[in-house]
Structure 1
Amino acid sequence: MSANQCSQQRPPPVVLVFLMLLSLISFSKSDELQPLLEFKSALQKSNTNVFSSWTQGNSACNFTGIICNSDGLVTEINLSQQNLRGILPFDSICTLQSLEKLSLSSNFLYGTITQDLKNCTSLQHLDLGYNSFSGEVPDLSSLGQLNFLNLTKSGFSGPFPWKSLGNLTSLTLLSLGDNVFEPSPFPVEVLKLEKLYWLYLSNCSLEGLIPEGLGNLTQLTNIELSWNQLSGEIPTDILKLKNLSQLDLYYNLLTGKLPVGLRNLTSLVNFDVGHNNLHGNISEVRFLTGLAVLHLFENQFTGEVPEEIGEFKNLVKLSLYRNKFTGSLPQNLGSWSDFYYIDVSENFLSGPIPPNMCQNGKMVKLLVLQNSFTGGIPENYANCSSLIRIRVANNSLTGVVPAGIWGLPNLSILDVSMNSFEGPVASSIDKAKSLAQLFLSNNRFSGELPLTISETSALVSMQLSSNQFSGQIPATIGGLKNLNSLHLDGNKFSGSIPDSLGSCVSLTDINLSGNSLSGNIPAGLGSLLTLNSLNLSNNNLSGEIPTSLSSPKLSLLDLSNNQLIGQIPEALSIEVFSDSFDGNPGLCSPNFKHFRPCSSGSRTTSHHLRTLMSCFIAGALILLVSLTCFLYVKLRHNNLDRPLKSNSWDMKPYRVIGFVENEITDAIKKENLIGKGGSGNVYKVVLSDGKELAVKHIWMSDPCDQKNCQSSSAMLRKRSFRSAEYEAEVATLSSLRHVNVVKLYCSITSEDSNLLVYEYLPNGSLWDQLHACRKIEIGWKVRYEIALGAARGLEYLHHGYDRPVIHRDVKSSNILLGGDWRPRIADFGLAKIVHPGGGDWTHVVAGTLGYIAPECAYAYKINEKCDVYSFGVVLMELVTGKRPIEQEFGESRDIVCWVYSQMNSKESLLYLLDTTISEDLKEDAIKVLRIAIHCTARLPSLRPSMRMVVQMLEDAEPCKLTNFIVKKECQDSSDERRKNISRFRALELES
């Protein structure tokens, strides 16, 4: 072939170049496809349809969530809120050399992120917030082009690579909050980010001073540094930030005064410095006319609330509670906008309540309790149907409560106690279908209670003490099935106690003392399974004491100063009730010496019974001695336990009992074993009369033989600890009386072991019911009752005893369930009674892994907030059905971390719920989950008391009208929702 012929067949150079370009483009597109398919493969467990278009035959640029440039190269991956689950393959993602934006927030991504990010050098936008990652944040130094970085609530922990921020000088948004990073000073590297307009570092363990220099970041519009340990004064150079619209510094340790010149922040819309140690006046605030939110709660501010605040046209949220403000509130307050709430409680404010805060019908909370306000409740609020809480207690208010207020349809709490109100309760109260708590005590209310009060079906607590109410207690009161506490003491009620009161099946506390009630005590009161306290003293009651009241569930009984007759029931003739019957000359008792003896027939019968009991006990003791050798031989060969040394039993009763030692000791055998604990075994004992008991057997030292024997010092240490544990349990339980605390009947001790005899609860522990095969047996309504009952038991320990009792091992396996599913707090082996000025009696870290509060794992100094944290974990178990530690949570993560990592939206909260909870009750379950989140706050001071937990749970009762604020939270965007929750949290805990 000639050279000419060859030249004719060879393609022109232009064609060759075009073919080469086509080849390169084809190769590059293929190169883009593979990393995305690997991305899809890694997240194949996701419950999403987003990957339906991600197929081999499709172009990567046609994949859902993918954006390409004009060259067909991937520049953006946008898959936020797509239910993605799995571990991100960053080694594949970072091979996309043109990738500028990676947005994967609000998913369920987990696992660690290694240094593979170093290859993502083109990234400008990285959003991994609201996920469940673990481990440390990798070095970010290589991401020099990054202008957007969001890792908020992403699950990362450990030390954050603050120094790498020094290379990210293009950042405009930096959001790292709500992660459990190691404590560190405020990162000075942030001061180099001159383009920054958004800074969110709340709740990420910052401590020390806020540095000067922050004011040089003149583009900043948003600074949020809340929920940290920052101290010192607010730096004055922040006042240079003319564009700042939000400054959130709440829940820190800041001191000093509000900086002079705060008035310069004329763009400020949201100013929150609540829960610090700030003092002085707030005169600078009067110039911030654009404010919508002003939160100064829990500081030491003094002086008057500036009159100019009343002219703020945009102000909708005002929280000044727990300060030292004086003077009156501006009377125009809230007149100009859709005012949402006010909380100025616990100050020294006076004058009238501003009348126009609900002018536009949006206000939900009026909280002014514990001040010196005068006048009445303004008439305008009678038309404010949006109101959920009215709390004006402990002021100097007078007059009549406006009639419309009694019937507000969304009102949950009406608290006007400790004022000088007068007049009747209006019959329109039947329209208050959401009213749960009615507090009218210590006023001058009068007249009869309207019959319509029995139609307030949501009512849980009715406190009407120390007024001038008269007439009869409405006979229809039995319709209040949710009523838990009824205080009508110190009034002028007459007539008989309604028999229908025995139909209020939730009652735990009744106080009708100091009235003019007559007639018999209704026998039906004794059938109230939850009744714990009954005070009917100082009335004109007659007849005999019903034997139905003899149940040992009562912790307080006062029937003194009436006209009762007959014999005091035997079961009530115990030392704890020795003063409960004084002032009834017609009563007699064979046991109480300060009462006349009963008739001879009664005495003879009683004498015969005591003689028979003495003979029975003597016979039992003889039988016990004769069986000693047999029992020793039998138990010595038992592989389960070593033998009981029964030659020196000492039995101490703490309640009225009808059994002797040998009925218990004979039953301590393998076939009766029902459980094992860290210090001994638990046995079921059935007495001859059919009564069932549970016996906890605690060895004072371990079995020791020639082949396997601990050192004597180790044995002494263990025996000393078990002795302390046993004494703690006995000392605590022997004096406790509450329907939600397990009953301890007696202790039986010997040389080397101790027996504690309890009531037997047939449904086992909450752990068994939640995490065993019978889980489906308890639906949400039962779970809620278990949660509320257990909370009331802990509330009694913390607040209802003469000294606080800290349980220190609250967990689902220590919440036992009776045949009616009523919960009892059990296992007080680690309990501690708080003595005034006393220290801890042990240096053993108490609790169970997964339930221990963070501070209790490293500090021996504990308080009631440790129990609150553990109870929060139990609530999470109830809501999610998960164990405190599950493999799916990730390495070194527990249920608390897992729940916190999902708190980005209502949908993600729904994902957390146990699948057995029915659809119509899921909203109610979410309410309880929110309470659990309060209880497990990282800082103990942020956790509510158990008293407040009970109130919050009562508000979360299934099927009640959903709280307006909660509804609003669910509609907010994720960032705004987070801020609302934080503030709502602070309000709820204190109000």
Structure 2
Amino acid sequence: MFVLQWPSLMLLLLLFVGLFSPSKSDELHILLDLKSKLEKSNTSVFSSWTPGNSVCNFTGVVCNSDGLVKEINLPQQQLVGVLPFDSMCGLQSLERIDFSKNSLHGTLTEDLKNCTRLQVLDLGCNYFSGEVPELSLLGNLSFLNLNKSGFSGKFPWKSLENLTKLGFLSLGDNPFDSSPFPEEVLKLDKLYWLYLTNCSITGQIPGGIQNLTQLQNLELSDNQLSGEIPTEIVKLKKLWQLELYNNSFTGKLPAGFGNLTSLVNFDASQNRLEGDLSELRYLNQLASLQLFQNQFSGEIPQEFGDFKHLIEFSLYTNKLTGSLPQKIGSWADFIYIDVSENFLTGQIPPEMCKNGKMTDLLLLQNKFTGTIPESYANCKSLIRLRINNNSLSGVIPPGIWSLPNLFIIDLTANQFEGPVTGDIGNAKSLAQLFLANNRFSGELPSMISQASSLVSIQLSSNSFSGQIPSNICQLKKLNNLYLNENMFSGSIPDSIGSCVSLTNIDFAQNLLSGKIPDSFGSLPSLNSLNISTNKLSGEIPVSLSHLKLSLLDLSNNQLVGPIPDSLNIPAFRVGFAGNPGLCTQNDPCSSNSGKSHHHLRKILWCLIAAILVLLISLACYLIAKLKQNNLEIPLKQNAWRMKSFRVLSFTEREIIDSIKPENFIGKGGSGNVYKVVLANGKELAVKHIWPSKSNDQKSCRSSSAMITSRTFRSTEYEAEVATLSAVRHVNVVKLYCSITSEDSNLLVYEYLPNGSLWDRLHTCNKIKMGWEVRYAIAVGAAKGLEYLHHGCDRPVVHRDVKSSNILLDEEWKPRIADFGLAKIIQAGDGGDWTHAIAGTHGYIAPEYAYAYKVNEKSDVYSFGVVLMELVTGKRPIEAKFGENKDIVNWVCSKINSKESLVDVVDSIISEDLKEDALNVLRIAIHCTAKNPAHRPSMRMVVQMLEDAEPCLLTNIVVDKEDVRSPNSKT
């Protein structure tokens, strides 16, 4: 019998193990393969990854005692590319993968299941796509972070049941499919960190949350959770952070909530919670309390004044009463308080800036009384002081005016008195000074001209006196100067013409005298000028004709002489009232010849009318004949009425004579469009709107049918005129005037030489448009829509937002155009909806199909489609999308597939900007949500487009300031 000796047996065993163990050369090959996949990255991290170097010396690589790779740690290294999980999981001792905060893309493959020893997987803050694969074989995972990583579709919640060692689970900020709160998570009893913010969770928080007794951090914000906060949550005694903001929670804080004595950060803002705050009086470890935009009532517990760690306190827009605890903020390095829009009374707590760290004091729209405590004159850290709309009084403490970091002082609508002192010139950061509706008095100090950051000064309705400082225009950034309803006297300083940034001036209802400065005409940006109800004399300077004003009010002065022709338009006519000495060419000041001329003109018009009656049959016949042969109908040569909305440099005849075939440039949503070039070289666009053919025919048959035609015409025409004549925004097309006759309507707009966005993206006139230009167009168009929805006295719904209604000027800046379908929402009409048929196929929101309802959120959907056009370069409807499919379906199908979303981006866009384009595509996806309630407002869309969206989550701390501001009273 052959018997193996012990040394021989050991040698055989070593050979056997060697056959089935990974070699170091294999690991070197795997890591070099990883390097090759990421070699486009702008980083030097791989300089040590060379074949001649030991893998254990590679930057970011950690080996175990056997010299095998245990960890790959490469967070925040500007890595770009696709991770080769298939080869990486060949590292059989690999326990940790950290590629967080890079720019990685691609999908998470099924090969990940081979990383069975993996304990830490951190891929947060990247640009992956597709669904997360099955994770059940990764039973050793204790840390899983996929936050803001780009994954979408259906998440494999079921597979979490096998990950029983998980302590850290972060899946937030990904567009997963909607699902109820995942019951599988409730079985992970070792969890200490659970971040499920913004991942489409619906329904209620189940009572089983009490099983997660080790939880220290629970974040479920920005979902669609509803119902009451479950009572069982009070059993999570180790919680130091609880974030539930921006859901639909109702009811009161659960009984026993005060038992969560370890809470440091609590945010349940933007819900519908009610009841009082008494349960919170025991939470003396609180550093941040955010409960704004709820329906809480009752008094603020006085115990809050003894909280020695409290630094952030935001309860605005509730129904709270009583007084603020007078000791609040006096213990720690208090940063801000915002209790605006409540019913709070009493005095301002005096020591919130005791440690000199406070940045925001926001108490607006309450019932506070008393004075501003003198201690705040030393609060040099203060940035925003907003205590407007209260019942505060007294003199402003010395030193407040000169605080070096103040950006805004808003004391509007109180009972403050005394002067603005000269030390305001030391407020070098001050941009907004709002003191209207108080009892301030004295002269406005000339030193205010040294507050060099001032953009807006509003001193209306006070008792300021003396002269307007002659050096006020040293403020080169000043946009708005409102001094109306005071007792300013003397002349308006001629130096006002050097205020090059001024857009609005209001000096009405003062005691100003002397002449109107000719220098007003030198203000290139002036939009509104109101100097009414003073003692101004002399003639109106001709230089005012150079201004492009939307408002001019010179009424109730002592002005004399002629009104310059270019200012003598209907829009400004009221602004000349109360000046008996003014006259016009049509109404001379000192003779009766004008009256006889006016009588003669009446006779002439009567004769013309009689001739028109004789010719009307012939006119109708010609119109019908021309229509039948599809010819352009010539415009009548008389009976035109022009209504001006801006200062004009042309006559109605110049416009009418230019409506001819050779000037035709296209069709709008409600008529032909012509290009008009004036004698001075200025270019205009004129839309010629006609009633329908059936109504034209009816109008020739009877006078009653003529009314029908006019009614039809007014539907579209008056909608556009009413909307555009009231709108003043850089991203909305300018309407100069309307010209109407018995059967025609002309609208005269600014001419935009680069046509429409549709032309530049989709037609034979398209150009190679880079992402920088597309992004600027997206932001500008969004701001135009935001103004229509939020900036007008009544919100305006466009109802036909599309790329062909976004026009481009010579610098490619966008203008929202074609308001033929717009509707101004009437207050109290029973809701925000309008039921008229509206929109263009491919842009129409899905709710229209079942409800025939259109509101602001329908515009948001349409704008989301425009964003998709900008990112993808595709039309809203294309054959490649499939039957009955549009661009929204196509983009969503790409998200749900395994394909890289980068492939959706227009190939014209450079590679280094495609990730930026994808950020805008994600905004477009939000805008085109099926449920209108889930779409952002246009105000939010603008914020999202402007937002750089930095990474929200670190390994331990979530900076919620990067998600949304707790102090929205800007």
TM-score range, shorter chain: 0.7 to 0.9
Cα distance 1:75–1:176, how it changes in 2: closer, same or farther (>3 A)? same
- Correspondent of 1:123 among 118, 122, 125: 118
Q: CA RMSD in A?
A: 5.1
| Residue 763 of structure 1: how far off its partner (Å) | 7.2
Correspondence list, 1:211-610, <5 A: 211-550=206-545, 553-589=548-584, 599=591
Deviations 1:238-297 (A, max 9, x none): 111111101111111111111121121111111111111111111111111111011111
Take 2:105 and 2:743, find their aligned partners in 1: how far apart are those partners? Answer: 51
1:158 is paired with a residue of what secondary structure? coil
Take 1:288 and 1:134, find their aligned partners in 2: how far apart are those partners? Answer: 42
The worse-fitting range, judged by mean Cα deviation, of 403-412 and 840-849 is: 840-849
Q: Is the 8 A contact 2:464 2:486 kept in 1?
A: yes
TM-score by length of 2: 0.80
Cα distance 1:431–1:935, how it changes in 2: closer, same or farther (>3 A)? farther
Tell whether 2:212 aligns with 1:204: no
Provide the residue aligned with 2:620 in structure 1: none
Deviations 1:441-461 (A, max 9, x none): 111100000111122222121
Tell whether 2:726 aligns with 1:732: no
Take 1:773 and 1:613, find their aligned partners in 2: how far apart are those partners? Answer: 56
- Correspondent of 1:85 among 60, 80, 84: 80
Letter of the 1:240 counterpart: K
| Residue 554 of structure 1: how far off its partner (Å) | 2.5
Cα distance 1:795–1:85, how it changes in 2: closer, same or farther (>3 A)? closer
Cα distance 1:83–1:676, how it changes in 2: closer, same or farther (>3 A)? farther
Cα distance 1:337–1:893, how it changes in 2: closer, same or farther (>3 A)? farther
Cα distance 1:365–1:32, how it changes in 2: closer, same or farther (>3 A)? same
Take 1:242 and 1:763, find their aligned partners in 2: how far apart are those partners? Answer: 63
Take 1:948 and 1:646, find their aligned partners in 2: how far apart are those partners? Answer: 45
- Correspondent of 1:743 among 729, 734, 757: 734
- Correspondent of 2:681 among 690, 705, 711: 690
Take 2:826 and 2:813, find their aligned partners in 1: how far apart are those partners? Answer: 30
Take 1:512 and 1:827, find their aligned partners in 2: how far apart are those partners? Answer: 36
Take 2:189 and 2:57, find their aligned partners in 1: how far apart are those partners? Answer: 38
Tell whether 2:834 aligns with 1:840: yes
Q: Is the 8 A contact 2:152 2:175 kept in 1?
A: yes
Take 1:767 and 1:172, find their aligned partners in 2: how far apart are those partners? Answer: 51
Take 2:893 and 2:442, find their aligned partners in 1: how far apart are those partners? Answer: 56
Provide the residue aligned with 2:817 in structure 1: 826
Letter of the 1:41 counterpart: S
Letter of the 2:513 counterpart: S
2:303 is paired with a residue of what secondary structure? helix
Cα distance 1:347–1:737, how it changes in 2: closer, same or farther (>3 A)? closer
Q: Is the 8 A contact 1:567 1:598 kept in 2?
A: no
| Residue 809 of structure 1: how far off its partner (Å) | 6.2
The worse-fitting range, judged by mean Cα deviation, of 37-46 and 558-567 is: 37-46
Correspondence list, 1:90-239, <5 A: 90-239=85-234
Q: Is the 8 A contact 2:668 2:818 kept in 1?
A: no
Provide the residue aligned with 1:807 in structure 2: 798
| Residue 313 of structure 1: how far off its partner (Å) | 0.6
| Residue 41 of structure 1: how far off its partner (Å) | 2.9
1:524 is paired with a residue of what secondary structure? helix
Letter of the 2:410 counterpart: D
Q: Is the 8 A contact 2:255 2:279 kept in 1?
A: yes
Cα distance 1:209–1:567, how it changes in 2: closer, same or farther (>3 A)? same
Deviations 1:528-557 (A, max 9, x none): 333222221111111122233346833322
Letter of the 1:501 counterpart: I
Take 2:494 and 2:865, find their aligned partners in 1: how far apart are those partners? Answer: 41
- Correspondent of 2:632 among 644, 649, 665: 644
| Residue 602 of structure 1: how far off its partner (Å) | 8.0
Take 2:578 and 2:252, find their aligned partners in 1: how far apart are those partners? Answer: 60
1:987 is paired with a residue of what secondary structure? coil
The worse-fitting range, judged by mean Cα deviation, of 122-131 and 759-768 is: 759-768
Take 1:96 and 1:754, find their aligned partners in 2: how far apart are those partners? Answer: 76
2:329 is paired with a residue of what secondary structure? coil
Letter of the 2:474 counterpart: G
Tell whether 2:46 aligns with 1:39: no
| Residue 40 of structure 1: how far off its partner (Å) | 2.7
Listed as ranges, the gaps of 5+ residues in structure 2 are 608-622, 694-710, 875-886, 902-909
Take 1:935 and 1:483, find their aligned partners in 2: how far apart are those partners? Answer: 37
Q: Is the 8 A contact 1:806 1:833 kept in 2?
A: yes
Deviations 1:501-536 (A, max 9, x none): 222222222211111011112233234333222221
Provide the residue aligned with 1:987 in structure 2: 967
1:405 is paired with a residue of what secondary structure? coil
1:371 is paired with a residue of what secondary structure? coil
Q: Is the 8 A contact 1:700 1:722 kept in 2?
A: yes
| Residue 64 of structure 1: how far off its partner (Å) | 2.6
1:351 is paired with a residue of what secondary structure? coil
Take 1:87 and 1:854, find their aligned partners in 2: how far apart are those partners? Answer: 36
| Residue 123 of structure 1: how far off its partner (Å) | 2.2
Provide the residue aligned with 1:658 in structure 2: 651
Cα distance 1:401–1:948, how it changes in 2: closer, same or farther (>3 A)? farther
Take 2:624 and 2:493, find their aligned partners in 1: how far apart are those partners? Answer: 58
Take 1:45 and 1:822, find their aligned partners in 2: how far apart are those partners? Answer: 34
Provide the residue aligned with 1:963 in structure 2: none
Letter of the 2:209 counterpart: L
Take 2:71 and 2:712, find their aligned partners in 1: how far apart are those partners? Answer: 61
| Residue 146 of structure 1: how far off its partner (Å) | 1.8
Cα distance 1:535–1:872, how it changes in 2: closer, same or farther (>3 A)? farther
1:213 is paired with a residue of what secondary structure? helix
| Residue 337 of structure 1: how far off its partner (Å) | 0.6
Take 2:97 and 2:425, find their aligned partners in 1: how far apart are those partners? Answer: 56
| Residue 558 of structure 1: how far off its partner (Å) | 2.0
Q: Is the 8 A contact 1:935 1:943 kept in 2?
A: yes
Take 1:384 and 1:329, find their aligned partners in 2: how far apart are those partners? Answer: 19
Listed as ranges, the gaps of 5+ residues in structure 1 are 616-630, 703-719, 903-910, 918-927, 957-965
Cα distance 1:220–1:407, how it changes in 2: closer, same or farther (>3 A)? same
| Residue 128 of structure 1: how far off its partner (Å) | 1.3
Q: Is the 8 A contact 1:769 1:778 kept in 2?
A: no
Letter of the 1:982 counterpart: V
Take 2:911 and 2:476, find their aligned partners in 1: how far apart are those partners? Answer: 31
Letter of the 2:960 counterpart: K
Letter of the 1:658 counterpart: T
Letter of the 1:112 counterpart: T
TM-score by length of 1: 0.78
The worse-fitting range, judged by mean Cα deviation, of 360-369 and 153-162 is: 153-162
How high is the sequence identity, in percent, across the aligned residues?
Answer: 60
Cα distance 1:57–1:842, how it changes in 2: closer, same or farther (>3 A)? farther
Take 2:862 and 2:450, find their aligned partners in 1: how far apart are those partners? Answer: 37
Take 2:576 and 2:102, find their aligned partners in 1: how far apart are those partners? Answer: 64
Letter of the 2:797 counterpart: I
1:510 is paired with a residue of what secondary structure? strand
Cα distance 1:271–1:264, how it changes in 2: closer, same or farther (>3 A)? same
Q: Is the 8 A contact 1:667 1:685 kept in 2?
A: no
Deviations 1:724-748 (A, max 9, x none): 8777544532454566643334568
Take 2:826 and 2:912, find their aligned partners in 1: how far apart are those partners? Answer: 40
Provide the residue aligned with 1:959 in structure 2: none
